[in-house]
């Protein structure tokens, strides 16, 4: 089973960090929501950090503002995921340049659309 960590996952169903959890779960991924302020998201246990995710990751999907994302890049790089999706609003030129410098397989774009879903499918 493919794995994904959703960094910036949210318990608020209106937020894209929640829609991503639901979309990837529906697509058959093992989903690990990451949010230090939540204990469960969509019935799944939330990890306080990427370090708490107990398995190797195929993907990481980021839903945080660029300054927060930039600070987390070393932790993201340490997970060595095959792809790291920087969703709209989570990265700017500085974040993407630093991600690539750290060897992160950075993909700017909507990770939900990449799996053939639309965020509008998850009201």
Q: Residues 100-110: pLDDT tens digits? A: 999 999 999 99
Q: Residues 55-99: pLDDT tens digits? A: 999 999 999 999 999 999 999 999 999 999 999 999 999 999 999
Structural domains of the chain, with CATH? 3-121 (3.40.50.720)
Q: What secondary structure does DSSP assign to the chain, as a single string?
A: --EEEEET--S-TTSHHHHHHHHHHHTT-EEEEE-TT-SEETTEEPBSSGGG--S--SEEEE-S-HHHHHHHHHHHHHH--SEEEE-TTS--HHHHHHHHHTT--EEES-HHHHTT--GGG--
* Entry pTM: 0.96
- Res 117: pLDDT: 95
Q: Residues 26-36: pLDDT tens digits? A: 999 999 999 99
- Res 64: pLDDT: 98
């Amino acid at each position: 089973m493919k794995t994904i960590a959703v960094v910036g996952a949210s318990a608020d169903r209106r937020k894209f960090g929640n829609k991503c959890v639901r979309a990837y779960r529906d697509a058959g991924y093992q989903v690990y929501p990451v949010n230090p302020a939540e204990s469960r998201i969509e019935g799944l246990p939330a990890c306080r950090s990427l370090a708490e995710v107990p398995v190797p990751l195929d993907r990481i999907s980021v839903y945080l503002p660029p300054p927060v994302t930039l600070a987390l890049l070393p932790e993201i790089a340490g997970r060595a995921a095959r792809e790291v999706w920087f969703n709209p609003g989570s990265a700017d030129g500085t974040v993407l340049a630093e991600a690539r410098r750290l060897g992160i397989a950075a993909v700017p774009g909507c990770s939900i659309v990449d799996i053939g879903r639309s965020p509008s499918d998850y009201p």
